[in-house]
Amino acid sequence: MARPVRFNIHPIKADVKDNISIVDMPEGYTGEGFFTTQLSSVVGLARKNSLWPLPFATSCCGIEFMATMASHYDLARFGAERLAFSPRQCDLLMVMGTIAKKMGPIVKQVYLQMAEPRWVMAVGACASSGGIFDTYSVLQGIDQVVPVDVYVPGCPPRPEAILDGFMKIQELVGQESVRRRNGEQYKALLGTYGIQ
Ligand code: SF4
C-alpha cells in the first residue's frame, strides 16, 4: 500500500485531505487562476526560508548551537540547513560566545566579506553584552563592531531560545523592503561603524 504523503507545514491539518495550510502566503489578491502580491513580499518569503547561517562560535554558546542544529531541535526545519564557513555564501552571521577585543576586527572582517543583504544575530550574554566578563580584554557586545539585528539572552541560551531568535530574524527578513539596503538610513547606520 502506498504511504500517505505528509507535509511538514502543519502536521495535524496535513493529515486531512484538502486541508493543508500555507502559513506563509503573503497578502495579495487571488482570482481565477492568478495571484498578485508585492515583489518585496515574494522576495522576503524566499529569503526568510532560505537563510544560510555562518556560525561564528568561540565558546560555550557554540555548544548550544550544535544542539540546535542536531536532530532534536533541527534548525534545518526553518530552511537553514546549509551552514557555511565561507562569508561570501552566507547571509546570517550568528556570533556565539565570548568575543575578545582582539577578535573584534575579525568579526567585522567576516561581516564585511558577507554579501548584502546580511543579518546578524548575537547569541548569548557574551556576544550581546560581554556577559559576566566585564574585563579589560572582552568586547562588551558585538554591536560595538557590527550592527546587530537580534539579541538572544541567556548564559547560555537554550536551543529553544536560539530557535526563537532565528524566527525573529525570519520575521525581520520577511518584512524587509527590497530597497532598504539602498536607503539613506541604512547607509547612515553602516556609517556609524565606519563601513562605506
Ligand atoms: S553567554 Fe555564557 S554560555 Fe554563552 S559563551 Fe558566554 S559564558 Fe559561555
Distance 64 CA to ligand 1 centre (A): 10
167 located within any domain: yes
29 located within any domain: no
Nearest CA to ligand 1 atom 6: 126
81 located within any domain: yes
Distance 150 CA to ligand 1 centre (A): 17
Which residue pairs from 80-88 have beta carbons closer than 8 angstroms and sit at least 24 positions apart in sequence? 80/51, 80/52, 80/53, 80/166, 82/52, 83/52, 83/53, 83/54, 83/55, 84/52, 84/53, 84/54, 85/54, 85/55, 86/54, 87/54, 87/111, 87/113, 87/114, 88/113, 88/114, 88/115
- Residue 3: per-residue pLDDT: 61
CATH of the domain at 107: 3.40.50.12280
36 located within any domain: no
Distance 96 CA to ligand 1 centre (A): 8
8 located within any domain: no
Find the domain containing 106 and state its range.
45-174+182-191
Query: Could you tell me the pTM of the whole model?
Result: 0.86
141 located within any domain: yes
- In the predicted model, is pLDDT for residue 55 greater than 80? yes
How much of the chain exceeds pLDDT 90, in percent?
A: 70
- Residue 28: per-residue pLDDT: 85
162 pocket-lining for ligand 1 (C-beta < 6 Å): no
Hey, which of 126, 140, 151, 162 would you mutate to test ligand 1's pocket, going by the most ligand atoms within 8 Å of its Cβ?
126
100 located within any domain: yes
Q: How many domains is the chain built from?
A: 1
115 located within any domain: yes
- In the predicted model, is pLDDT for residue 51 greater than 90? yes
Distance 124 CA to ligand 1 centre (A): 6
